[in-house]
A = this chain, B = another copy of it.
Amino acid sequence: MNDLTVQDPDARLVSWLASGGLRPTRQRLALAALLVGDGEDRHVTAEGLYAAAAGAAEKVSLATVYNTLRAFCDAGLMNEVVVDGSRSYFDTRLDDHPHFYWEDSGRLTDAPASQLKIAELPAAPEGAEIARVDVVIRLKRV
């Protein structure tokens, strides 16, 4: 899905946006660079990404950060993860995988998918099918 072919970074971001049918605006390129610029998976909140953009001297309004994250999700470029009733997290990783949620700091990180083995799963009731299975491992400091 992510074609990490060798090409100049900007072009990679442009095609990342294009694969979601989105125009490469200055703001989107800046946010995309922060999100997928280095190929690392990221878990951000809107406020967090807004702060990161500000830190990188990129001028993007908070409303645009919200709208852009929503656009990226609608375009299938990211996923929204719900773990904390009060804020939404956005994950650059696209496959269905488990998360660690650090209750003390509110940080969300990937849990190694290879170490999760579900031997049996409740079947979807009549008239429904499974869209996704969210597994959140809540951690507390010892």
Contact = CB atoms under 8 A, between A and B. Distances in A.
A127 B142 CA distance: 6
Which label, helix, strand, loop or mixed, suits the secondary structure of the A interface?
A: strand
Given A131-B103, A138-B131, A119 B119 contact: yes
Interface size class of A (residues with CB under 8 A): 35 or more
A66 interface: no
A122 B137 contact: yes
Nearest to A84: B82
B135 A134 contact: yes
Given A82-B85, A134-B135, A118 B117 contact: yes
A111 B118 CA distance: 15
B116 A128 contact: no
